[in-house]
């Protein structure tokens, strides 16, 4: 009991609390276990309430292991590995950070995990082969891409019912909902389109043609722009939300790496509107885009076949999932350097970060 | 950059209204979808003729699909079989994919299918094809042997058409016998042999034992292998022609070791396109060496074992449609139809001359589930694509193999490159 309670408290440095703990641990050899349990529990409570730790938790889905790895962002170690459904890919948190939604693609379901105790509370009907999804700001409607069926499914999380299924292009993949909740976007990989779904009517109101194999979609914080990455086209299209037309296409060039290897997938836009990070797949690099000049300013070497990324709430750290090397790269945002790789399960795919305030105690 | 208001929003609204009216869970969604079809049909008949906000014109794209079924020669093994609808199912899937995309763009694709049985008299067949080709400038997918393709493509009726060769791997069709109105989605034998020999080079299998089958295709493939071996600086140390007078199912273990006796070789290449005997060479060679070519490690355009780059999705769509695995020929037909779809979507034209011009330009690229985009060589109309080196259960490598460099694109290290072309009919 005693050691378990230590292991689940994620500190990197031996803080004051940790010292108290270890001190007691030494003394404990003379104590009976029965007495030790309440003392350690009390200690844990004291430490957590007075904690000054800055650790968030990063949830990583491991596509080929059917697990989620949880990384402490201070120690940058995997603190737990959770069993989930088959072929987990997209992961996202509820807006109140109490639940984690997991696309279990081969189980044909979206699992809802309790952040408090890691249990699967219930499963949502998702349609077949869910790959990515996005949660509406109302914290209630989940938009899910069903890759094999050329449809997008809208699920009401409260009633656990399918609200709507919308016909989209071939192999829907990327999903995004605008911050104002007005539009949901699905990208279809073989039709090469971003479909604009009006969330009030659940119908497609516009389609924007982009380059080959669009994988991911992200709205800028003010919703004025939609970014869509095209994996095979090797580009990122920046689309004007008003006109739904492409206003700029970003392309990438890395010395010594052939154009074919540069396959943009996941994207992260910083809240200050200044920077965008683009994961470039099998080129093993993340591109850094200056959004003012709309130019690529840097390429960061990370692990092999980088899929998706997540920023910490302070936006000082970027975590990338590297499918082929089976690890996560930590990028220091200030210096734009990869500083550490963290081994996780096989084929890490999705990543989302639970802010420290929401970590269960 | 085409942005459209979807013309079917009314229809969708009715669809949803109906769905809302019946509270339903996940399990009976399919049923509901089906039951709403009638309503949709009714609504759609009403809204036809209403103005839509679509900026793009409505396009009706009619593609002609011609297939000549051929009699496969007898082979030793009872396990070898070829699907009767090989190729045709790939075209059907390509059409589905085009239409799923097309419904957002006001495009409707259809196939006019002419499939001729083995015993169809040539004269009657040709009359039918002539009639179809004479109905204006056509987009044609031709799943036919090289000689049939060449004769039809040179008819005056075909001169304004754009034809896709989806079956013949014949090198001469891309070289001295190239035709300006024919593009090739299936790789040439030269691309396949280059892919294999690049892999040999990387593995340092420098000395090759070549076993050549007796049929015309086997000889052509062997010729291609010889050219590739020379191109990449390897050596054929022993070359033998197969003598097919023994039942290998029973005595391969005694025949093959004797047949493959030689002092030294690093690998065996066997050319046997109909799979008559090559499978019996594996594990029976005099020296314990890998076998490649038509058995063992095979260079292919497509195989059921490909699952990377999103290929698993194409495989499962194909299996749902056809209840069998997807072959190279299916893939080539799918790629031809998708090429047409992609070109029509980007240039908003169904004119074969415009489409040909766009396909051969630098602008054109198509996602093909093989890691790199598909495009076309403007010196002979061959579709650029990676070649997969596979065995029956996994992909071993994807060619072009890393390290084989090219000033334009690595894909052009496979097959006839621009400086070597003997094709004068392009672009």
Q: What is the pLDDT of residue B56?
A: 60
Q: Is A259 on the interface with B (CB under 8 A)?
A: yes
Of A193, A202, A246, the CB nearest to B104: A193
Of B270, B300, B330, the domain-final residue: B300
Residue B425: asked if its preceding bond is cis (omega within 30°), the reply is no
> What is the number of residues in chain A?
361
User: Are the C-beta atoms of residues A303 and A339 closer than 8 Å to each other?
Assistant: no
pLDDT of residue B244: 73
Cα–Cα distance measured from residue B106 to residue A110, given in angstroms and rounded to the nearest whole number: 33
Chain A CA closest to residue B370 = A232
Question: Average pLDDT in the A28-49 region?
Answer: 44
The Cα A227–Cα A275 span in angstroms is 13
Burial call B384-404: b when 16+ CB within 10 Å, e when fewer: bbbbbbbbeeebebbbbbeeb
Domain boundary among B300, B317, B336: B300
Contact status, residue A300 vs residue A289, Cβ threshold 8 Å: no
> Is residue A105 very low, low, confident or very high in pLDDT (cuts 50, 70, 90)?
confident
B171 and B312, same domain (yes or no): yes
SS3 B34: helix
Residue B217 DSSP SS3: helix
| pLDDT at residue A136, as a whole number | 96
Q: What is the mean pLDDT of residues A27-49?
A: 44
Residue A338 has pLDDT above 60, yes or no: yes
Chain B closest-CA separation from residue A190 CA (Å):
7
Question: Between helices B9-21 and B29-47, what is the axis angle to 10°?
Answer: 140
Residue A241 and residue A178 in contact, taking contact as beta carbons nearer than 8 Å: yes
Query: Virtual CA dihedral for A326, A106, A153, A92, nearest 10 degrees?
Result: -30
Question: pLDDT grade, residue A38 (50/70/90)?
Answer: very low
CB contact under 8 A, B372 and A232: yes
Identity of the residue in B100, B365, B371 whose CB atom sits nearest the CB atom of A170: B100
Total of domains in chain B: 3
Residues B178 and B322 in one domain: yes
* Same domain, yes or no: B344 and B225: no
Domain assignment present for B421: no
B257 within some domain: yes
Do B176 and B307 sit in the same domain of this protein? Answer: yes
Give the separation between CA B117 and CA A60, rounded to whole angstroms.
55
Which of the listed residues B300, B327, B354 is the one where a domain comes to its end? B300
What gap in Å lies between CA B194 and CA B205, rounded to an integer? 14
Do B310 and B176 share a domain, yes or no? yes
- pLDDT digit string (tens) for A162-221? 999 999 999 999 999 999 999 999 999 999 999 999 999 999 999 999 999 999 999 999
- Look at residue B403 and tell me if it is in a domain: no
Write out pLDDT tens, residues A106-123.
Answer: 888 999 999 999 999 999
Q: Which residue has the higher pLDDT, B192 or A130?
A: B192
Sort out which chain A residues have CB atoms less than 8 A from B23's CB and list them.
161
- Please check whether residue B370 is in contact with residue B413, taking contact to mean a CB–CB distance below 8 angstroms: no
How near does any CA of chain B get to the CA of A205, in Å?
5
Question: Which residue from B1, B367, B371 is facing A189, i.e. has the nearest CB?
Answer: B367
Positions in chain B whose pLDDT score sits under 50: 1-54
* B243 lies in the same domain as B357: no
| Domain encompassing residue B228 | 190-300
Q: Which of A147, A209, A212 sits opposite B373 (nearest CB)?
A: A212
Q: Is the ipTM of this complex over 0.85?
A: no
Q: Look-up: residue for tokens 């090469």? A: A192
Q: Return the residue matching tokens 């089906």.
A: B34
Q: Which of residues 187-206 of A touch B (CB under 8 A)?
A: 188-193, 195, 201-206
The C-alpha atoms of residue B208 and residue B199 are separated, in whole angstroms, by 13
> To the nearest 10°, the Cα dihedral for B130, B132, B138, B143?
-80
pLDDT of residue B243: 83
Query: Closest chain A residue to B345 measured between Cα atoms?
Result: A209
d(CA A354, nearest CA chain B) in Å: 30
pLDDT per position as a tens digit, B361-402: 999 999 999 988 999 999 999 999 999 999 999 999 999 998
For A:2-31, CB contacts with B below 8 A are none
3-state secondary structure of A161: strand
Domain match, B217 and B247 both: yes
CA distance A288 to A252: 10
Instruction: Report yes or no on B238 lying in a domain.
Output: yes
- My answer on whether B179 and B198 are in the same domain is no
B410 inside domain: no
Q: CA nearest A213 in B: which residue? A: B367
Bridge partners, A361 (sequence order): none
Cβ atoms of B208 and B237 within 8 Å: the answer is yes
Instruction: Indicate whether B66 and B167 sit together in one domain.
Output: yes
Residues of B in contact with A147 (CB under 8 A): 313
Q: How far apart are the first and last CA of chain B?
A: 27
Chain B contact set for A205 (CB, 8 A): 5-6, 9
Contacts A201 to B, Cβ<8 Å: 9, 13, 16
Interface of chain B toward chain A, CB-CB under 8 angstroms:
1-6, 9, 12-13, 16, 19, 23-27, 29, 33, 97, 100-101, 103-105, 310, 313, 316-317, 320, 338, 342, 345-346, 365-367, 371-373, 409-411
Give the max Cα distance, chain A. Answer: 74
Neighbours of B103 (CB within 10 A): 19
| B426 domain-assigned | no
Structure confidence at residue B20 (pLDDT): 35
Whole-number Å distance between alpha carbons of B138 and A149? 31
Strands B291-293 and B267-271: parallel
Closest residue in chain B to residue A245, using alpha carbons only: B1
Confidence of residue A59 (pLDDT cuts 50, 70, 90): very high
Beta bridge partners of A214: A230
Asked whether the beta carbons of B238 and B262 are under 8 A apart, the reply is: yes
A341: left (phi over 0), alpha (psi -120 to 50) or beta: beta
Average pLDDT over every residue of A278-298 = 96
**Residue B266 sits in the same domain as residue B339:** no
**Given an 8 Å threshold on Cβ–Cβ distance, is A207 in contact with B105?**
yes
Query: Which residue in B has a C-alpha nearest to residue A210's C-alpha?
Result: B1
Chain B contact present for A89, CB below 8 A: no
Number of H helices, E strands in chain A: 3, 28
Residue B120 is part of a domain; what is its CATH number? 3.40.50.2300
Residue B334 shares a structural domain with residue B270: no
Mutate to test the interface with B, among A87, A149, A207, A247 (most CBs of B within 10 A): A207
pLDDT value for A93: 96
Q: Does the pLDDT of residue A260 top 50, yes or no? A: yes
Task: Indicate whether B321 and B285 sit together in one domain.
Answer: no
Question: Across the interface, do B373 and A232 touch by the CB < 8 Å criterion?
Answer: yes
Domains annotated on chain A, with CATH: 2-49 (no CATH), 57-358 (2.130.10.10)
* DSSP H stretches of helix in chain A: 2-7, 16-27, 33-49
pLDDT at position A165 is: 94
Measure CB to CB from residue A170 to each of B101, B365, B371 and give the nearest one: B101
Residue B406 domain flag: no
Does the structure show a pLDDT above 60 at A8? Answer: no
Give pLDDT, residue B252.
79
* pLDDT number for residue B396: 97
Nearest by CB to A206, which of B4, B25, B372? B4
What is the average pLDDT across A1-9? 39
Q: Note whether residue B420 is domain-resident.
A: no
Rounded distance, CA A229 to CA A98, Å? 30
* pLDDT mean over A335-353: 96
């Amino acid at each position: 009991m005693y050691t378990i309670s230590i292991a689940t408290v994620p500190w990197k440095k031996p803080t004051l609390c940790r010292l108290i703990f270890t001190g007691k641990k030494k003394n404990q050899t003379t104590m009976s276990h029965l007495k030790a349990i309440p003392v350690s529990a009390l200690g844990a409570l004291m430490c957590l309430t007075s904690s000054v730790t800055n650790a968030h938790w990063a949830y990583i889905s491991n596509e080929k292991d059917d697990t989620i790895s949880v990384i402490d962002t201070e120690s940058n170690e995997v603190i737990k590995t959770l069993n989930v459904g088959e072929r987990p890919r997209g992961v996202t948190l509820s807006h109140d950070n109490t639940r984690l939604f997991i696309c279990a693609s081969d189980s044909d379901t979206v699992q809802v995990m309790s952040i408090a105790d890691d249990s699967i509370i219930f499963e949502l009907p998702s349609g077949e082969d869910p790959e990515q999804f996005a949660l509406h700001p109302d914290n209630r409607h989940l938009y899910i891409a069903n890759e094999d069926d050329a449809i997008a499914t809208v699920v009401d999380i409260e009633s656990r019912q399918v609200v709507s299924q919308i016909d989209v292009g071939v192999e829907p993949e990327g999903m995004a909902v605008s911050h104002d909740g007005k539009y949901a976007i699905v990208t279809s990989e073989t039709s090469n389109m971003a479909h604009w779904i009006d969330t009030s009517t659940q119908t497609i109101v516009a389609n924007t043609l982009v380059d080959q194999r669009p994988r991911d979609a992200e709205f800028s914080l003010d919703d004025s722009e939609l970014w869509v990455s095209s994996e095979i086209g090797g580009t990122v299209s920046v689309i004007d939300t008003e006109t739904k037309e492409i206003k700029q296409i970003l392309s990438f060039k890395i010395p010594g790496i052939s154009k074919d290897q540069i396959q943009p997938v996941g994207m992260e836009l910083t809240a200050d509107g200044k920077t965008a990070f683009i994961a470039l797949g099998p080129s093993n690099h993340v591109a850094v885009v200056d959004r003012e000049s709309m130019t690529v300013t840097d390429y960061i070497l990370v692990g092999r076949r980088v899929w998706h990324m997540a920023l910490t709430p302070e936006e000082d750290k970027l975590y990338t999932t590297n499918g082929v090397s089976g690890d996560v790269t930590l990028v220091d945002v200030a210096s734009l350097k990869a500083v550490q790789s963290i081994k996780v399960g096989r084929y890490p795919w999705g990543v989302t970060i639970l802010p420290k305030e929401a970590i269960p105690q | 950059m085409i942005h459209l208001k979807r013309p079917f929003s009314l229809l969708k609204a009715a669809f949803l209204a109906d769905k809302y009216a019946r509270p339903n869970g996940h399990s009976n969604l399919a049923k509901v979808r089906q039951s709403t079809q009638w309503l949709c049909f009714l609504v759609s008949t009403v809204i036809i003729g209403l103005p839509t906000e679509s900026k793009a014109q409505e396009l009706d794209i009619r593609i002609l699909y011609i297939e000549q079924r051929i009699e496969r020669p007898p082979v030793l093994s009872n396990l070898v079989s070829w699907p009767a609808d090989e190729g045709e199912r790939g075209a059907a899937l390509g059409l589905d994919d085009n239409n799923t995309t097309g419904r957002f763009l006001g495009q409707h694709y259809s196939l006019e299918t002419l499939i001729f049985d083995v015993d169809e008299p040539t004269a009657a067949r040709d009359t039918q094809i002539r009639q179809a080709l004479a109905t204006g400038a056509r987009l044609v997918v031709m799943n036919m042997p090289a000689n049939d393709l060449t004769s039809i493509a040179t008819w005056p009726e075909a001169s304004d058409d754009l034809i896709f060769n989806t079956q013949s791997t014949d090198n001469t069709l891309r070289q001295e016998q190239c035709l300006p109105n024919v593009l090739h989605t299936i790789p040439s034998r030269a691309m396949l042999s280059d892919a294999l020999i690049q892999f040999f080079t990387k593995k340092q299998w420098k000395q090759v034992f070549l076993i050549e089958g007796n049929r015309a295709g086997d000889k052509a493939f062997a010729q291609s292998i010889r050219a590739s071996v020379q191109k990449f600086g390897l050596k054929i140390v022993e070359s033998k022609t197969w003598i097919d007078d023994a039942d290998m199912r029973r005595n391969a273990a005694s025949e093959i070791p004797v047949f493959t006796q030689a002092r030294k070789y690093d690998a065996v290449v066997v050319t046997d396109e109909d799979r008559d005997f090559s499978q019996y060479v594996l594990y029976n060679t005099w020296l314990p060496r890998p076998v490649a070519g038509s058995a063992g490690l095979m260079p292919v355009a497509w195989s059921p074992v490909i699952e990377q780059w999103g290929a698993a999705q194409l495989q499962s769509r194909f299996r749902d449609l056809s209840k069998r695995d997807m072959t190279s020929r299916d893939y080539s037909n799918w790629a031809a139809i998708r090429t047409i779809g992609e070109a029509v979507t980007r240039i908003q034209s169904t004119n074969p001359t415009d489409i040909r011009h766009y396909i051969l330009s630098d602008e054109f690229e198509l996602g093909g589930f093989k890691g790199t985009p598909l495009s076309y060589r403007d010196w002979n109309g061959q579709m650029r694509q990676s070649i997969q080196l596979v065995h029956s259960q996994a992909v071993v490598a994807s060619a072009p193999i890393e390290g084989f460099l090219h000033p334009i694109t690595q894909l052009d290290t496979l097959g006839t490159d621009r400086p070597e072309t003997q094709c004068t009919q392009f672009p």
